[in-house]
Amino acid sequence: MLRVRALIVLFVCLSACSDVTEDSREIVDTIFHNAKVITIDAKASIASVVAVSGENIIAVGGDEILSSYRSDNMQDLGGKVLMPGFIDSHTHINGQPQRYIDLTETTSIEEIKNLVRDKADELGEGEWITGYGWSEDFMAELRRPLRGDLDEAAPGNPVLITRAGGHSAVANSLALRLAEVTPSTPQPESGVIEKDENGELNGVIRERQDIVSRLIPESTNEEVRESLIGELKRQLSLGITSITHATGSIESYPEWELVYAEHRGNLPRAAIQVFWIDPETMAVFGKKSGDGDEHLRVGPIKIFVDGGFTGPAAYTKEPYKDEADFRGKLSIEPGELNRVISELNAAGWQTGIHAIGDAAIELAVDDLALALDEHPRVDHRHYLNHFTVMPSSESMRKMAEYGIAITQQPNFTYTLEGRYVDYLDGDRLEHNNPLRTPMNHGIHVAISSDILPIGPMVGIYAAVTRKGLSGRVFAADEAFSVMEALQGYTLYGAYLSFEEDRKGSIEPGKLADMIVLDQDILSIDPEQILDIEIEQTWLGGALVYARDF
């Protein structure tokens, strides 16, 4: 009997000791395990377990992590990829009114006409109809929609629909009439009103569609706010956990503050790039680049040096292909650009400068270098948006010397192939949207999507394959590896917003902004990258999107 009692006591003691051992593991909110974790750390490490507590990553490694941490929320990923959420360092996220039509997925002019016709029926005669996102490159008819197409769809409504990229739009007859645009209207500064072979308006306006859009009534805050929230949440379904909105303003920033005050935990983190006005107005605004918090902050000042190739208005050193004299157009006078950049740099602002043509790039770089010589700054992180036509080696050397970075859109190589073939030739065409060359010069190269289309997979695919929509390969030596492309869409984007110590990689102490992919992006054939789906998106340790919801 004594022996039995002793055994019972021993069993109880061992059980108690076992419980103590298990309970000694630190309790965390979530543990991701059985995963292929692409950390994007300095060693490009691959892990299998990530522990998260609160908004932050606590530990990263292999199964040994399970000996130190436990959780009631164990996420078995079944070997799928877990990686940092994408950081889209140049995109455009706007709320839209009821009159707006999303044309980004349209593949024919007939489809556009049907959408416009349906919107006219919904709104009633006389109401403005707007839309965005069409591209002739994707049209079955292999042409742009024109005035006559829109007249046929909605003769009783003024219509203005903007091409993907935002550098041109087409209006119907009623919209042109209301704007008092006729065949005899003088060409606007820095823009083109197109005419057909008979001298009649075809409805297309390049770079200066504001001569029509100025008549569109203001939208109500409520409808725009709800649309903005919906579009921001859509970014999470694309795996985007942070954005830089490239068309903000000091007028619209309070609206973003209202949205994020109510929905901050369910929206991607955002930096709002604002347009420069004048020193007095910016002083009244009272904010600078970086002001805000980890959910919403003020980004860089936006400056346009030139237009784009959809205009076409990109400012180049040599004439466009088959154009004896045309080299695009500057959007700002050189002296004014120098003054504005100098003022901004001296005042401590970060700048994000739109520069597409090589002449525009070199002008911006020279003015940034002059400004930094006048007012040196240790960590300014000025950068160029786009960088489409490769500038001189001397200009790239200067960028590296002065720490001028790039946010590049390799997806343009894919979606804008037709425009580049129309307007560029030789090395300018082959090396469009270069990646490897600027990186080899020591320039910090982030990757972003702009709006052609929003979403990282097309950009990653084009960065790795250098293929256009037709399958043509452009300067394969400019390609990135898949890992380099992922770095460009994560850690290097975080660098542009001064947040690389808080996001952009899966490392202890960083925000648990992570995504799960349905395929292993590091091992599949690059041709399959376009088919990758986002399974889950986690923001600050919380699940904010799941494909199976």
Place of tokens 């203005």: 160
Of the pLDDT bands very low, low, confident and very high (cuts 50, 70, 90), residue 22 is: low
* Mean pLDDT in residue range 29-39: 99
Distance between CA atoms of 207 and 9, rounded to whole angstroms?
Answer: 86
Helix (H) / strand (E) element for 15: namely helix 2-23
Whether 58 has a pLDDT exceeding 50, the answer reads: yes
Helix (H) / strand (E) element for 284: namely helix 279-285
pLDDT in tens, 280-314: 888 889 999 999 999 999 999 999 999 998 778 89
Question: What does DSSP assign to residue 455?
Answer: S
* Mean pLDDT in residue range 5-10: 47
Q: Which of 307, 299, 297, 296 is nearest to 330 (CA)?
A: 307
Of the pLDDT bands very low, low, confident and very high (cuts 50, 70, 90), residue 9 is: very low
Specify the fold of 305-480. TIM Barrel (3.20.20)
State the chain's maximal CA–CA distance in angstroms. Answer: 114
Cα 189 from chain centroid (whole Å): 29
Whether 148 has a pLDDT exceeding 70, the answer reads: yes
Q: What is the pLDDT of residue 94?
A: 87
Q: What is the DSSP string of 99-113?
A: TEEE-TT---HHHHH
Task: Flag the least confident range among 75-84, 342-351, 446-455.
Answer: 446-455
Q: Is-contact 161 193, C-beta < 8 A?
A: no
Q: Which residue has the higher pLDDT, 221 or 176?
A: 176
Specify the fold of 100-213. Diaminopimelate Epimerase; Chain A, domain 1 (3.10.310)
* Mean pLDDT in residue range 501-523: 98
Q: What is the pLDDT of residue 6?
A: 46
Distance between CA atoms of 231 and 96, rounded to whole angstroms?
Answer: 9
In the chain, DSSP finds a helix count (H) and a strand count (E) of: 18, 26
Q: Which residue type occupies 389?
A: V
Q: What is the pLDDT of residue 16?
A: 47
* Mean pLDDT in residue range 363-386: 97
Q: Which of 264, 345, 249, 339 is nearest to 299 (CA)?
A: 249
Q: What is the pLDDT of residue 14?
A: 47
Q: What is the pLDDT of residue 60?
A: 99
Strand positions, DSSP E, 339-477: 351-355, 383-386, 405-408, 445-447
Distance between CA atoms of 519 and 533, rounded to whole angstroms?
Answer: 8
The burial of 160, by beta-carbon neighbours within 10 Å (0-12 exposed, 13-18 middle, 19 or more buried), is given as buried
Q: Which of 200, 104, 192 is nearest to 151 (CA)?
A: 200
Q: Which residue type occupies 120?
A: A
* Mean pLDDT in residue range 158-181: 96
pLDDT in tens, 188-242: 998 999 999 999 999 999 999 999 999 999 888 888 899 999 999 999 999 999 9
Q: Cα–Cα distances in Å, from 83 out to 36, 340, 411?
A: 8, 39, 21
466 token code pair: 């250098």
Residue ranges of domains in the chain: 100-213, 305-480
Bridge partners (DSSP) listed for residue 355: 386
Whether 549 has a pLDDT exceeding 70, the answer reads: no
Q: What is the DSSP string of 415-433?
A: HTHHHHHHH--HHHHHTSS
pTM of the model: 0.86
Whether 19 has a pLDDT exceeding 90, the answer reads: no
Q: What is the pLDDT of residue 23?
A: 65
% of the chain exceeding 70 in pLDDT:
96
Strand, coil or helix: 525: coil
Bridge partners (DSSP) listed for residue 51: 31, 59
Helix (H) / strand (E) element for 18: namely helix 2-23
Strand positions, DSSP E, 258-364: 269-275, 296-304, 351-355
Q: Is-contact 168 146, C-beta < 8 A?
A: no
Whether 36 has a pLDDT exceeding 90, the answer reads: yes
